[in-house]
A and B are shown apart, each in its own frame.
Chain A
Amino acid sequence: MRLVFAALAGGMFGAGLLVSGMVDTLKVQGWLDVFGAWDPTLAFVMGGAILPMAFAWRLAARRPRSWLGTAFPAPSSPEIGRELVAGSVLFGMGWALAGLCPGPALASLTFGGSGGLIFLFAMLLGMVITPALRRQLFSGTNFSGTNLGPDPDRTAQPNTGPRSRAISGPSSGTTRMDIRPLTSRYAVSPQIELADLAAIKAAGFTTVIDNRPDAEIPPALHATPMRATAEALGLTFINNPVISGGLTEANIAAQSAAAAASTGPVFAYCASGNRSSVVWALMNAAKLDADTLINTAARYGYTLEHLRGQLADRAAKS
C-alpha cells in the first residue's frame, strides 16, 4: 500500500514537472535571469505547488499520524546552520548553471539525452562525497539538528566504556555528581546543584540543558539562578523543561537544536536523567537504530523499552 502511494506521488510529481515545463532548463534559467528575458513561469509553479501543500500541512497538524500509520515529520527545526546557507548557495549556483535540480533531472532522464545522464551521474557523485566533505568543512558542529536528513556520519557513537563518571563536587566536597555520558557529545545526569556547574565546565562541557520544570524543585535550583551561574562560567545554558509524561515535539526540537548549536559536549539534567535520556533517544531516532539507543540508555540505568515503537516510527519517516 505504501509503495502504491509512493508510486502515485512520484508519478504525479513527474507529470507535474513535465506539464509545468520545469523539465525545460531554459524556463528555469529564465526565472533566474533577472537581467535577461525574465520568465516568471517558475513562480506560478511554486505558487501552484504550495497551495495544496499548505492545506496538507494544516490537515497533518490536526491528525496524530499519516493515513498509513507513520508519524508525521517532526516540526521544522528552528536551527539555521552554516550548512543550510552554504549548501543552498552551492545548490543555487549548480541550479543556475545547468537549469536542472534533482526532481526535473530524474523526470527528464528518459528524454534528456546524454547531458541529462552526465548531470545525474555528477549529482549522485556529489551526494556520495558530501559526508566526507562535511567532516572536512564543518567538523566543529556535531549533532545535526535537522529533521529532514539523517546523517549517521556526524553522530557520536554511543559510549561503551565505564558506566559513569563520578566527579567530586568542587570546594564543598559534599555533592557528588553522577555524569552519565551516553555519547562523547551528550551526557545526562540527575539534578545538579549550583556548585556543580564549575566541575561541569572543568569536565569540558560547553552547554548545560535543564530538562526539569521549576515547579518540581526548590527556588534555589530554578532555571534562573542556574542560568546566571552557568553563564558566569561561560557555559551555554538552555532551559527546556520536560513535563514528566508530557514530552512534546517542541521539547525534542529544542534539545536537538541546542545540541547542534553546542560547540562542545552537552550536559543535560532532570530529576534522575531519565527525561534527558528519553529526549536524546527520540532526537537521534533517525541516526541510530532503536536497539543501540535503548541499550545505550540501559547501560546507564534508563529503561527506554517503551519507546521502541516511537523510535521505529521516527526512523522510518527519515
Chain B
Amino acid sequence: MINPDWLWGLAGGLMIGTAGALYLLINGRVMGASGIIGGLIDGSARRSWAERSTFIAALIAVPMALLPAFPGAATHLTGNIWVIAVAGLLVGIGTRLANGCTSGHGVCGISRLSPRGLLATVTFILAGALLLAVLRHALGWI
C-alpha cells in the first residue's frame, strides 16, 4: 500500500521540476530559491531584479490562492522563536556561502549531474540528519 503522501510528494515534485524546466528553457536561469532572493539582498542582481521579484511574488501568492483547496496544509513550525531565529540565520548564511539550497543544488544541480550540486546536497542532508539525531535522540531537546 503506497502512502498517499508519497504520491502527493511525487506530483508536487513534478510541478517543481516543471517550473524549474520552464525557468531554464524560457528565461535561461537556474531556479534556485536562495540565489533568487540572495541576489536581491546583496545587490548583485542589478539587471534581473524585476524578474526575481516577480518570481518571488508569485511563489508567495500562488500558494496563498490555492490554500482553500488544501485545508490540511500547515507548516507545523516550532513555537520556539529562538530555534526559529537561529535556524533562519543558519539557512541564510549557509545558502549564500554554498551558493544554493534544496532547489538550486538539490533539484537543479543533481539533475545536471553537477559535482558541486551533488556534494552540497549530500552534505546538507547529512549535516541536518546528524544534528537532528543529536538534538532529538541524544539530547532530547527538540
Residue contact A92 to B63, C-beta cutoff 8 Å:
no
Chain A 94-113 near chain B by CB (<8 Å), digits 1 or 0: 11111111111111111111
Residue contact B21 to A10, C-beta cutoff 8 Å:
no
Chain B 124-142 near chain A by CB (<8 Å), digits 1 or 0: 1111110111011100001
CB contacts under 8 Å to B, within A38-88, are 39-57, 59-60, 63, 65-73, 76-80, 83-88
Residue contact B116 to A77, C-beta cutoff 8 Å:
yes
Taking the closest CB of chain A, its distance from the CB of B123, in whole angstroms, is 4
Q: Which residues of B contact A93 (CB under 8 A)?
A: 90, 94, 127-128, 131
A90 to B99, CA, bound (A): 12
Residue contact A34 to B129, C-beta cutoff 8 Å:
yes
Contact of A102 among B19, B64, B77, B101 (CB under 8 A): B101
CB contacts under 8 Å to A, within B23-49, are 23-35, 37-39, 41-45, 47-48
Residue among B47, B96, B100, B109 with max Cβ neighbours from chain A (10 Å): B96
Residue contact A25 to B16, C-beta cutoff 8 Å:
no
9 further interface pairs, Cβ-Cβ under 8 Å (given A50-B17, A77-B116):
A52-B21, A88-B127, A100-B75, A101-B102, A121-B88, A123-B91, A127-B95, A146-B99, A287-B44
Chain A 276-318 near chain B by CB (<8 Å), digits 1 or 0: 0000000000110000000000000000000000001001111
Residue contact B60 to A19, C-beta cutoff 8 Å:
no
Chain B 56-69 near chain A by CB (<8 Å), digits 1 or 0: 11111111101100
Interface residues in chain B, defined as those with a beta carbon under 8 Å from any beta carbon in chain A: 3, 5-35, 37-39, 41-45, 47-48, 50-52, 54-64, 66-67, 70, 73-79, 81, 83-112, 114-117, 119-121, 123-129, 131-133, 135-137, 142
A59 to B21, CA, bound (A): 10
Q: By DSSP majority rule, is chain A's interface helix, strand, loop, or mixed?
A: helix
Question: A115 near B: Cβ within 8 Å?
Answer: yes
**Which of A130-138, A164-172, A221-229 binds B?**
A130-138
User: What are 13 pairs between A and B in contact, CB < 8 Å?
Assistant: A16-B16, A21-B12, A41-B5, A48-B16, A66-B29, A89-B123, A99-B78, A100-B77, A121-B88, A130-B96, A130-B97, A148-B99, A317-B29
A83 to B75, CA, bound (A): 30
Question: A32 near B: Cβ within 8 Å?
Answer: yes
Residue contact A13 to B102, C-beta cutoff 8 Å:
no
Q: Which residues of A contact B73 (CB under 8 A)?
A: 18, 21, 23-24, 111
Q: Which residues of A contact B114 (CB under 8 A)?
A: 76
A89 to B130, CA, bound (A): 10
Residue contact B41 to A124, C-beta cutoff 8 Å:
yes
Residue contact B77 to A113, C-beta cutoff 8 Å:
yes
Contact of A7 among B38, B54, B106 (CB under 8 A): B54
Residue among A42, A56, A85, A131 with max Cβ neighbours from chain B (10 Å): A56
Residue contact B123 to A53, C-beta cutoff 8 Å:
no
Contact of B24 among A10, A57, A87 (CB under 8 A): A57
Q: A49-B16, A102-B33 are in contact. Are A96 and B97 (CB under 8 A)?
A: no
